[in-house]
Every structure is written in structure tokens, then in C-alpha cells.
């Protein structure tokens, strides 16, 4: 009854921990291609880059893995998977058989296909090694350029501005966070960055990077302008690490496809977290979600299925957070571009929430400095009894009071 878990990030470590918590007795093998002891990722683009920041925070203590009899093998990448033989091959040439396999492979920053991307000083930030390298470069850099106006690029920009650097952020769309959040939220984020001194170059992309003696010197934009740079961080979105699954013949489409129980096209193999594309709660589409909560909740669900057999389908509402300067942005649920949006609170004072509706149904709430709204929305969406559009649009509506008044109704 060996369970093998590939990837010792947030999802993989949680699968192993939950298997033991559920009383699973069989061998549990947890492998990761990285040498670093499993760590929290969100800090890497935030506090970790700041002055005086220490080491990365481990996901669990070292003794946890020994005490729980989890066979943690670091520096061991899975290179091939043979579903028919239920066998996995590692980079060190060894193989292992499994009863259940869990893919918790994460995602990787997309490559930018422009000349000069290989110059020294053009970095990306996905792993602890990357973050340590960026932190080191940041110590001596004067001009930093971020490519990509998603959460990651913005967080890194905030950290670099906080460290006193001249920072430019380049985003080809005409505003930041276009895919992620409603315009009101991205406006608030944009304002905070501009006020802090970040130069936002929106609506134009990177044409190429130029350097001297192999080192980055400037970024040339599509509109012809040139920005001096001694550190560039590329954060242009991520792709699922699904190569291992794809080569093994598992169904893959923007991530490893899973059913409502997080099983891949081979029922002995599960996929969780950033690498998995699972059926959306609200619409008939497959979605891949990149956030800690999603990796952890899916991991718990899979551990329960492996230990106790098939139960309820996975049905957690995804939630995510980011903080930049004094903005705490928290989102729950997943929006689509065609949602109808209602704003609650005070956008001008950076304290508000955007409620997103699909056919009058509340499907997502994005909050800026409104934890009370976020928590209420998490409860309402989880209970599947969210308020409808006319209700939220009515005068004096407040998510927290609404949540309190409807408790017990489910």
C-alpha cells in the first residue's frame, strides 16, 4: 500500500501529513527535485526580500517527517512515470512502485521569449534558490525592472521599492492584475504602487534586454523607450508542471486534468495544487488555481480518499491573499471577465470589497483592507447560500451582518 507523492511543496507535504493524520499506515514516500527542505513560498516575494529578513520558513520541522515515518527524499526528481506498471523513475536511476501516486508538481514561471533574456541579472522568482539570488542582487542593484503586473510582479516591486530602489514595472495590458481581479481592486493596487514611487509602464511590452559583458544594463520596450536596469525579474504568469503526466499519457490541458475527486485519467493517480486542472464549482469548465489554500485543501481531500475511499467530491471555495504596502487584498471564489460587479465600502479610502456575480449569483468577493467582508464571504460561498445581486445592491447591505443574519439557514 505504498503512496508516492511527487513534489514536496505546500500540496505534497500536506498530502503526507494528512495521510498520517487520517491514520494511513502504509509507507509514504515524498520526493522533490529541489534540495531545499520544504518551505513556505508566499514570503519569498514579500518579507523574504526585505531588509533584515532571515531564512525561509519551513513547512514542517525536520523531526516531523521522521516521527510521522514520511520518507522524504530531497534532490530526487521524478523523470518518468509508467502508469501501466504503477512505477515511477527518479533522476538517480532508481525506480519505485506505488499503489497510489499523488502529483503535487506545482507550476513554473513562464519564459519570456525575447532577446537578452539569458543575461546575468535577468531573474525569475519561483523557488527559494531564485529568491535568495534576487535578494542578493537587490542588495547592490539601483534600478530594478519587473516584467509582469500580476500579484507576483507587484509584490516583488513593493519589496524593491521598500528597499529604496528605483523600480519600474512593465505590463502589456493597460492595467495591472487584469486577469486576477476587478478594475476597482487593480486601481487601488496601482495607486498604492504609484504613490510609493514605482513607475508603471502599462500597455507596452518588453522588446529586448541589452547588456554589457553579459550583464543586464537596460530594458528596451516595444514603444522604443529604454529603462536602465541592473536587476530584472520576470514574472509573466506560470504554467503547470505537467510534463511528467503528459509524457505518461495522462490527460493534460492547462494542467493535469482531474475529476471531482481529484483523480487523473488513471484512477490510481491523483493531482493537487498548482499543477491540477479541476472542474469549476460554478461553471462547466476546468480551472487551475494557484494559491496555498487550494493546494492544502485538495491535499487533504486526496489523503482522505486514499485512506477512506471515495467520498464527497472536492468542493472548497478557493481563497487567496496578497499584501503590498498597507494593502491587504483577500479574494474568495473565482471570477470571470463577464461577471457583474458591485462595490461595497470606500474605494477612495482603500477599504472596500468587490462582489462579483454570474447570473445574479454571488461567485466571488475581492476585498481590500476589509477582512470582515472576506471572512463573511468565505462563509457565505462555502454554505452555497450567497446573497443575490438585488440583495447586495440594496442600500445599507453589509456582508458581515448578512452572514450573521443568515446563519443556520443552511
- CA 382 vs CA 21, 28, 87, 180, 352: distances in Å: 24, 31, 38, 20, 21
Helix or strand holding residue 135 (H, E):
helix 128-140
> Nearer to other proteins by C-beta: 61 or 95?
61
237 three-state secondary structure:
coil
One-character DSSP codes across 347-372 = GGGTEEEEEEEETTEEEEEEEES-HH
What is the residue whose three cell numbers read 534532490?
75
What is the residue whose three cell numbers read 477599504?
351
Give the number of other Cβ atoms within 10 Å of residue 351's Cβ: 15
Give the number of other Cβ atoms within 10 Å of residue 161's Cβ: 19
With a CB cutoff of 8 Å and minimum separation 6, the contacts of 135 are 48, 49, 53
Sheet-wide strand order for 286-288: 256-257, 276-279, 286-288
Query: Is residue 336 a contact point for ligand FAD (CB under 6 A)?
Result: no
Total count of residues recorded for the chain: 410
Contact partner at residue 31 from other proteins, ligand FAD, none, CB < 5 to 8 Å by partner kind: ligand FAD
> Nearer to ligand FAD by C-beta: 47 or 187?
47
Question: How many residues belong to the site for ligand FAD (CB under 6 A)?
Answer: 36
Distance CA 266, CA 384 (A): 31
Contact in structure between 231 and 141 (CB atoms under 8 Å): yes
With a CB cutoff of 8 Å and minimum separation 6, the contacts of 345 are 351, 352, 353, 370, 373
Query: Is residue 241 a contact point for ligand FAD (CB under 6 A)?
Result: yes
> Nearer to ligand FAD by C-beta: 163 or 342?
163
Distance CA 215, CA 121 (A): 6
- CA 183 vs CA 78, 227, 353, 356, 363: distances in Å: 41, 27, 12, 12, 17
What is the residue whose three cell numbers read 525569475?
124
> Nearer to other proteins by C-beta: 173 or 372?
372
> Nearer to other proteins by C-beta: 54 or 118?
54
Q: How far is the CB of 293 from other proteins (least distance, A)?
A: 7
Q: How far is the CB of 379 from ligand FAD (least distance, A)?
A: 19
Query: Is residue 106 a contact point for ligand FAD (CB under 6 A)?
Result: yes
Query: Is residue 154 a contact point for ligand FAD (CB under 6 A)?
Result: no
Q: How far is the CB of 60 from other proteins (least distance, A)?
A: 7
Query: Is residue 366 a contact point for ligand FAD (CB under 6 A)?
Result: no
* Interface residue with ligand FAD, options 4, 16, 18, 42 (CB under 6 A): 42
> Nearer to other proteins by C-beta: 10 or 135?
10
Q: How far is the CB of 40 from other proteins (least distance, A)?
A: 4
Query: Is residue 292 a contact point for ligand FAD (CB under 6 A)?
Result: yes
Contact in structure between 268 and 82 (CB atoms under 8 Å): no
Contact partner at residue 330 from other proteins, ligand FAD, none, CB < 5 to 8 Å by partner kind: other proteins
- 120 burial via Cβ count (<10 Å: 0-12, 13-18, 19+): exposed
Query: Is residue 233 a contact point for ligand FAD (CB under 6 A)?
Result: no
Binding residues vs other proteins (CB under 8 A): 40, 42-43, 57-58, 60-61, 63-64, 67, 292-293, 296, 321, 323, 328, 330, 371-372, 375, 378-379
Mask 48-87, x = binds ligand FAD (CB under 6 A)?
A: -----------------------------xx---------
Query: Is residue 159 a contact point for ligand FAD (CB under 6 A)?
Result: no
Contact partner at residue 311 from ligand FAD, other proteins, none, CB < 5 to 8 Å by partner kind: none
Helix or strand holding residue 277 (H, E):
strand 276-279
Contact partner at residue 64 from other proteins, ligand FAD, none, CB < 5 to 8 Å by partner kind: other proteins
With a CB cutoff of 8 Å and minimum separation 6, the contacts of 375 are 400
> Nearer to other proteins by C-beta: 174 or 326?
326
Query: Is residue 31 a contact point for ligand FAD (CB under 6 A)?
Result: yes
Q: How far is the CB of 291 from ligand FAD (least distance, A)?
A: 3
Query: Is residue 322 a contact point for ligand FAD (CB under 6 A)?
Result: yes
> Nearer to ligand FAD by C-beta: 18 or 322?
322
Q: How far is the CB of 266 from other proteins (least distance, A)?
A: 29
Contact in structure between 45 and 64 (CB atoms under 8 Å): no
| Chain residues that interact with ligand FAD, rule: CB under 6 A | 6-12, 31-34, 41-42, 44-45, 77-78, 104-106, 125-126, 152, 241, 244, 273-275, 290-293, 295, 320-322
Amino acid at each position: 500500500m505504498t503512496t508516492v507523492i511527487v513534489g514536496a511543496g505546500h500540496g505534497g507535504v500536506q498530502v503526507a501529513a494528512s495521510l498520517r493524520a487520517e491514520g494511513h499506515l502504509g509507507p509514504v514516500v515524498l520526493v522533490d527535485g529541489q534540495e531545499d527542505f520544504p518551505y513556505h513560498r508566499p514570503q519569498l516575494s514579500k518579507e523574504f526580500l526585505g531588509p533584515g529578513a532571515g531564512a525561509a520558513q519551513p513547512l514542517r520541522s525536520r523531526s516531523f517527517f521522521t516521527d510521522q515515518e514520511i520518507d522524504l527524499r530531497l534532490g530526487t526528481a521524478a523523470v518518468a512515470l509508467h502508469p501501466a506498471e504503477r512505477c515511477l523513475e527518479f533522476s538517480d536511476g532508481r525506480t519505485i512502485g506505488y499503489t497510489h501516486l499523488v502529483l503535487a508538481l506545482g507550476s513554473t514561471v513562464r519564459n519570456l521569449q525575447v532577446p537578452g533574456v539569458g543575461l546575468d541579472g535577468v531573474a525569475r522568482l519561483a523557488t527559494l534558490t531564485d529568491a535568495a539570488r534576487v535578494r542578493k542582487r537587490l542588495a547592490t542593484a539601483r534600478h530594478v525592472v519587473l516584467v509582469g503586473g500580476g500579484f507576483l510582479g507587484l509584490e516583488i516591486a513593493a519589496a524593491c521599492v521598500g528597499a529604496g530602489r528605483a523600480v519600474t514595472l512593465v505590463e502589456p495590458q493597460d492595467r495591472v492584475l487584469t486577469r486576477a481581479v476587478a478594475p476597482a481592486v487593480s486601481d487601488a493596487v496601482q495607486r498604492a504602487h504609484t504613490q510609493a514611487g514605482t513607475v508603471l509602464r502599462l500597455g507596452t511590452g518588453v522588446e529586448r534586454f541589452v547588456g554589457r559583458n553579459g550583464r543586464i544594463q537596460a530594458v528596451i520596450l516595444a514603444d522604443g523607450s529604454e529603462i536602465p536596469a541592473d536587476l530584472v525579474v520576470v514574472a509573466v504568469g506560470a504554467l503547470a508542471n505537467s510534463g511528467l503526466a503528459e509524457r505518461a499519457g495522462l490527460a493534460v490541458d492547462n494542467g493535469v486534468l482531474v475529476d471531482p475527486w481529484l483523480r487523473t485519467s488513471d484512477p490510481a493517480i491523483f493531482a493537487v495544487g498548482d499543477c491540477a486542472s479541476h472542474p469549476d464549482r460554478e461553471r462547466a469548465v476546468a480551472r487551475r488555481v494557484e494559491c496555498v489554500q487550494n493546494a492544502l485543501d485538495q491535499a487533504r481531500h486526496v489523503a482522505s480518499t486514499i485512506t477512506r475511499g471515495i467520498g464527497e467530491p472536492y468542493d472548497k471555495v478557493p481563497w487567496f491573499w496578497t499584501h503590498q504596502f498597507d494593502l491587504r487584498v483577500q479574494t474568495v471564489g473565482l471570477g470571470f471577465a463577464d461577471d457583474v460587479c458591485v462595490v461595497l465600502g470606500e474605494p477612495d479610502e482603500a477599504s472596500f470589497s468587490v462582489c462579483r456575480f454570474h447570473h445574479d449569483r454571488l461567485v466571488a468577493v475581492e476585498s481590500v483592507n476589509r477582512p470582515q467582508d472576506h471572512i463573511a464571504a468565505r462563509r457565505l460561498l462555502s454554505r452555497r447560500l450567497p446573497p443575490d445581486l438585488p440583495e447586495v445592491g440594496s442600500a445599507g447591505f453589509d456582508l458581515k451582518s448578512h452572514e450573521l443574519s443568515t446563519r443556520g439557514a443552511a
